[in-house]
């Protein structure tokens, strides 16, 4: 059995990890940390886990994390980079769900996150955990940087086109919407029910931290820098991301076949039949990305703009589900172990 620890077990990604790991056939939960809730039984805070998780929250300084085989950081940005070195040196492997190790350019990371990086020497070693791209490298990794939720949906949606050089790489557009859980489990005015419900708004238009992460992944796939306009929006739902992606066609291909071939055999990417319109509900509580490819008509003719719809659950394929998928690869387990849940409808 794999002994797993979770740093930051009371946020939404931490709760989701608890749900998934408590059902995983090859995992033993060994430690769950929380500074504020130390000593509190997990099941007392989250009754959904009664009979599943018998642990209490531990203070991070007292938790037996160094005895774990794998440690998940479900923490705000800036925590993992301060604690990762000691755990790696102790022999634990790490899956960081925060953004601490996602960007390879440390100076750029510091510009976006407004703090000096505490472990730049680990950035080069960290493997970006988009399984559909870096599967082989993830298997041997000691430290995996779990992708962000928006970057997961956008990259999976655009990768086949970028890899094939089939669209104008200087003018890609990602118009993405997220449920409120993507902002984390915190008290904030804009996330209150009376503020977020029956409302819809863009944010971060001038620049969002996920923009350099998405560009980094797409540039790697393209073998050159790419131009990307990325606009996130907050929607009045709890879970889910819907990314509508636009690219100007530069090479004629059978785009449906391109996507089907690229993701053939991928257990968690579902390329839907031509003309489909995937919705967020079809991915709720499941570790899956559903993709549909469209070519709208322009002035009555077949247009030269391709539209890709990419939909995920931000807490599953966009965070904790993908983190477990990474862990499975790191420990030589079937990639789908503990992740075969069917989407919850309604």
Condensed to tens digits (0 to 9), the pLDDT of residues 248-260 reads: 999 999 999 999 9
Mark 54-69 as b/e (b = at least 16 C-beta within 10 Å): ebbbbebeebebeebb
Per-residue model confidence (pLDDT) at position 323: 98
Per-residue model confidence (pLDDT) at position 195: 84
- For residue 310, what is the enclosing H or E element? strand 305-312
CA separation, residue 132 to residues 223, 306, 312, 317, 318 (Å): 17, 22, 15, 12, 13
Q: Write the CATH number of the domain with boundaries 2-125.
A: 3.40.50.720
Q: Long-range CB contacts (< 8 A, 24+ apart) of 209-212?
A: 209/99, 209/112, 209/113, 209/148, 210/148, 210/150, 210/151, 212/103, 212/105, 212/108, 212/112
Domain boundaries, the chain: 2-125, 149-314
DSSP notation for 129-153: --HHHHHHHHHT-SEEEPPPHHHHH
Condensed to tens digits (0 to 9), the pLDDT of residues 274-325 reads: 999 999 999 999 999 999 999 998 776 788 999 999 999 999 999 999 999 9
Q: What is the DSSP letter of 299?
A: T
- CATH 3.30.360.10, domain 149-314, yes or no: yes
Distance from C-alpha of 226 to C-alpha of 171, rounded to nearest angstrom? 8
Per-residue model confidence (pLDDT) at position 189: 76
CB atoms within 10 A of CB 224: 12
Is 149 noted as a catalytic residue in this protein? yes
Which is nearest to 98 in space by CA: 251, 333, 323? 323
Per-residue model confidence (pLDDT) at position 110: 98
Q: Are strands 301-302 and 297-298 parallel, antiparallel or unpaired?
A: antiparallel
Q: Tokens representing 228?
A: 């990307």
- Residues in the chain, total: 346
CB atoms within 10 A of CB 149: 29
Residue with structure tokens 């420990």? Answer: 331
Please check whether the two domains, 2-125 and 149-314, share a CATH topology: no
Report mean pLDDT in 10-residue bins for the chain, 346 residues. Answer: 96 96 97 94 95 94 95 96 97 98 98 97 97 98 98 98 98 97 78 84 95 98 98 95 98 97 98 97 98 89 92 98 98 98 92
């Amino acid at each position: 059995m794999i002994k797993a620890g979770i740093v930051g077990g009371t946020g939404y990604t931490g709760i989701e990890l608890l749900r998934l790991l408590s059902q995983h056939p090859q995992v033993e939960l060994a430690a769950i940390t929380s500074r504020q809730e130390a000593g509190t039984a997990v099941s007392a805070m989250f009754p959904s886990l009664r009979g599943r998780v018998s642990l209490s929250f531990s203070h991070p300084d007292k938790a037996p994390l160094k005895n774990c085989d794998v440690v998940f950081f479900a923490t705000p940005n800036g925590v993992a980079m301060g604690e990762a070195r000691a755990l790696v040196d102790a022999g634990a492997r790490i899956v960081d769900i925060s953004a601490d190790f996602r960007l390879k350019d440390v100076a750029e990371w510091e510009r976006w996150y407004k703090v000096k990086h505490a472990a730049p020497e680990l950035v080069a070693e960290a493997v970006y955990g988009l399984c559909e791209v870096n599967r082989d490298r993830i298997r041997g990794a000691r430290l995996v940087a779990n992708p962000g939720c928006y970057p997961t949906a956008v990259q999976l949606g655009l990768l086949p086109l970028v890899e094939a050089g089939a669209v104008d790489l200087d003018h890609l557009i990602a118009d993405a919407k997220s449920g409120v859980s993507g902002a984390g489990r915190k008290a904030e005015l804009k996330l209150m029910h009376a503020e977020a419900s029956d409302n819809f708004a863009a944010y971060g238009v001038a620049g969002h931290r996920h923009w350099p992460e998405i560009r980094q992944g797409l540039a790697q796939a393209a073998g050159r820098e790419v131009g990307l306009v990325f606009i996130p929006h907050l929607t009045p739902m709890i879970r889910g991301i819907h990314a509508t992606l636009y690219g100007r066609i530069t090479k004629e291909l059978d785009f449906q076949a391109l996507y089907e071939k690229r993701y053939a055999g991928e257990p968690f990417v579902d390329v839907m039949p031509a003309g489909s319109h995937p919705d967020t509900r079809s991915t709720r509580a499941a570790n899956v990305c559903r993709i549909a490819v469209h070519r709208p008509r322009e002035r009555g003719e077949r247009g030269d703009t391709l539209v890709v719809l990419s939909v995920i659950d931000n807490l599953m394929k966009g965070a904790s589900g993908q983190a477990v998928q990474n862990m499975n690869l790191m420990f030589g387990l079937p990639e789908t172990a503990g992740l075969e849940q069917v989407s919850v409808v309604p």
